[in-house]
Amino acid sequence: MRQPVQMLIERYQNSLFVAAFQICKNREDAEDVVQDTFIQYIATKKEYESEEHIRAWLLRVAINKAKNVNLSFWHRNRQPLEDYIETLTFETKEDGELFETVLRLPEKYRIVIHLFYYEEYSVQEIAGVLKLSESNVKVRLTRGRKMLKDALKEEWEDDK
């Protein structure tokens, strides 16, 4: 017996998510587990005895995948951003504060600021890497600098 995947998703997606979430304790990982479980169902050409057998199989696969996520090297070795920043060394306290401020920028500005100042790429090279026009890179650099200036100005005013 095989059931259409769309029907199984409608019936069991939520219960698979809850089971995966109980193990992963992370929404994104649990969602990935659910997706991977349905992909494995599609890839497996196995015939099942009944719908209960399918449900039990889906739950077992989801639970095993969630456990595998927790055992993965990446999952075991990740750490909060604040802890990672503490492991970095900067010449001055201000350099560290600047780095943290750059990390708080929206991604599209953070990337160009990082590539330009920390990796010393030219505007032309950044445009090539990110597949953007040079003028777009310049706009993002300008806006990112303004955001940094405003954020740092605010921090310095708070320190007074």
> For residue range 111-136, what is the model confidence (pLDDT) as tens digits?
899 889 888 899 999 999 888 999 99
Whether residue 64 sits in one domain with residue 18: yes
Whether residue 72 sits in one domain with residue 85: no
Look at phi and psi of residue 6 and say left if phi exceeds 0, alpha if psi is from -120 to 50, else beta. Answer: alpha
Element (H, E) at 99: helix 93-103
Place of tokens 């990082």: 114
Whether residue 88 sits in one domain with residue 67: no
Q: Any idea what the CATH number is for the domain that residue 139 is in?
A: 1.10.10.10
Query: Which among 34, 49, 77 is the end of a domain?
Result: 77
Whether residue 65 sits in one domain with residue 22: yes
**Cα torsion angle, 114, 119, 120, 123, sign:** negative
pLDDT value, residue 151: 87
Range of the domain at 21: 5-77
- For residues 34-63, give the mean pLDDT: 93
Assign 58 a pLDDT band (cuts: 50, 70, 90): very high
Whether residue 70 sits in one domain with residue 34: yes
Whether residue 129 sits in one domain with residue 108: yes
Q: Any idea what the CATH number is for the domain that residue 42 is in?
A: 1.10.1740
Distance from C-alpha of 111 to C-alpha of 115, rounded to nearest angstrom: 6
Query: How many domains does the structure of the chain reveal?
Result: 2
Whether residue 87 sits in one domain with residue 151: yes
Assign 103 a pLDDT band (cuts: 50, 70, 90): confident
CA distances from 54 to 1, 18, 37, 131 (A): 9, 17, 12, 45
Token digits for 123?
Answer: 């505007």
- Which of the listed ranges 3-7, 58-62, 68-72 does the model predict with the highest average pLDDT? 58-62
pTM of the model: 0.53
